[in-house]
Amino acid sequence: MATAVTFTNKPEELFVDKHVKYIQSLDTRKDELEYWLTEHLRLNGVYWGLTALHLLGRPDALPRDETIKFVQSCQHENGGFGAHPSHDAHLLYTLSAIQILAMIDALDAVDTEACAAYVAGLQKPSGVFAGDEWGEEDTRFVYTALQTLKILNKLDRVDVEKAVDFVLRCQNYDGGFGVVPGAESHSGQIFTCVGVLSMTNNLDRMTPASRDQLAGWLAQRQLPNGGLNGRPEKLEDVCYSWWVLSSLAMLGKLHWIDQNKLVGWILSCQDEVRGGLADRKGDAVDVFHTVFGLAGLSLVGWGGLKEVDPIYCMPVETTKRLFGPK
Ligand code: GRG
């Protein structure tokens, strides 16, 4: 079970070695209930941990061969990936699988043709993607589908223009984006929509005024303590240091928030004894908040972290190797 957490009042330090050890320890906690309760997220967890390690400058801290074998064991006959060998395929895990392999330069270890066919088979006539065979539709799945195919250099397998048109229909009167047309604006969904527009070079399909309105909405997510929330009237959470900040970065408006205040707030969410970051100070740490806190710090250039790519949430080193310099 989750152990007690130790937070300082105002750390000014990033506890790099502690965070590395924390991530390394995650796969060794097989006697803890939490390990088994999170099996449905295992492949995402490997992606979060590996991305964090790359940003911390320790890309080799997880065993490469074992990582490849685990990813291979999660691929289904239909080409998609499940969170764990015994779980059904879904786009959320398929992207994580491909991102993991991209980061460790091992894309040839799996059947990428079958993977692309699986992804392409999930596009609907409206341009949106379903997450899996059961059909839930969401802007998250447009992002995960297009990023997967972009990494595999197989974007031509789907109708990108229709996907982009669908995303544009999800923009609201307040400037934000939701899961489907007419749904409430949420920073997580904004990341996926601005990400789709950015990775397909379609950001200019939004007018400059509309981009400014969206950046204004995102900047308003900063609360007096420096942390960011995901939508109005909600609590701050370390993960929005990624969803909000990466969206502002893609819009070229990172300077619209108080970066110093945000950095101080993120650092206060570290467990300085056992490593890892929590959603907010005083809560138990987990690998999801650890990677998105670190990625937020990387976006503002803090603490000697490796540079993260705001569109793909992978190290710039990886995206440069895949797509060339911007
Ligand atoms: C490659 C980084 C990466 C992502 C893949 C799955 C995906 C694409 C993006 C998810 C975007 C998203 C919806 C993020 C938000 C996650 C989150 C913390 C949701 C919580 O929602 P609520 O309603 O929380 O529980 P609030 O804070 O609104 O109360």
pLDDT > 90: what percent of the chain?
88
Mean pLDDT of the 73-96 span: 96
Please check the confidence at residue 2 and state whether its pLDDT lies above 50.
no
- Which amino acid residue places its CA nearest to atom 29 of ligand 1? 234
Please tell me the distance between residue 91's alpha carbon and the centre of ligand 1 in angstroms: 15
The predicted structure's pLDDT at residue 320: 98
The predicted structure's pLDDT at residue 136: 93
Please tell me the distance between residue 128's alpha carbon and the centre of ligand 1 in angstroms: 18
The predicted structure's pLDDT at residue 137: 95
The predicted structure's pLDDT at residue 303: 74
Choosing from 137, 243, 279 the residue with most ligand 1 atoms within 8 A of its CB, the one to mutate for a pocket test is 243
Q: What is the dihedral of CA 173, 179, 182, 184, to 10 degrees?
A: -60
pLDDT band at 31 (very low <50, low <70, confident <90, very high): low
Instruction: State which ligand 1 atom lies nearest to the alpha carbon of 243.
Output: 14
* Whole-Å CA distances, 207 to 8, 89, 213, 221: 44, 37, 10, 22
Please tell me the distance between residue 309's alpha carbon and the centre of ligand 1 in angstroms: 18
Please check the confidence at residue 28 and state whether its pLDDT lies above 90.
no
Protein residues whose CB sits closer than 6 Å to any atom of ligand 1: 92, 95, 140, 143-144, 188-189, 191-192, 230-231, 234, 237, 239, 243, 313
The predicted structure's pLDDT at residue 1: 38
The predicted structure's pLDDT at residue 41: 81
Please tell me the distance between residue 174's alpha carbon and the centre of ligand 1 in angstroms: 19
Min mean pLDDT across 133-137, 145-149, 214-218 is at 133-137
Taking all residues of the chain, what is their mean pLDDT, rounded to a whole number?
Answer: 93
User: Which residue has better confidence, 29 or 179?
Assistant: 179
Mean pLDDT of the 4-31 span: 76
Choosing from 192, 217, 239, 242 the residue with most ligand 1 atoms within 8 A of its CB, the one to mutate for a pocket test is 192
Please tell me the distance between residue 65's alpha carbon and the centre of ligand 1 in angstroms: 30
Please tell me the distance between residue 12's alpha carbon and the centre of ligand 1 in angstroms: 27
Please tell me the distance between residue 292's alpha carbon and the centre of ligand 1 in angstroms: 11
CATH fold of 16-323: Glycosyltransferase (1.50.10)
Instruction: State which ligand 1 atom lies nearest to the alpha carbon of 292.
Output: 2
The predicted structure's pLDDT at residue 317: 97
Please check the confidence at residue 8 and state whether its pLDDT lies above 70.
no
Q: What is the pLDDT of residues 90-140, one digit of tens each?
A: 999 999 999 999 999 999 999 999 999 999 999 999 999 999 999 899 999
pLDDT band at 56 (very low <50, low <70, confident <90, very high): very high
pLDDT band at 35 (very low <50, low <70, confident <90, very high): low
Mean pLDDT of the 251-275 span: 95
pLDDT band at 241 (very low <50, low <70, confident <90, very high): very high
Please check the confidence at residue 9 and state whether its pLDDT lies above 70.
no
Q: With 0-12 CB in 10 A as exposed, 13-18 as middle and 19+ as buried, what is 193?
A: buried
Please check the confidence at residue 161 and state whether its pLDDT lies above 70.
yes
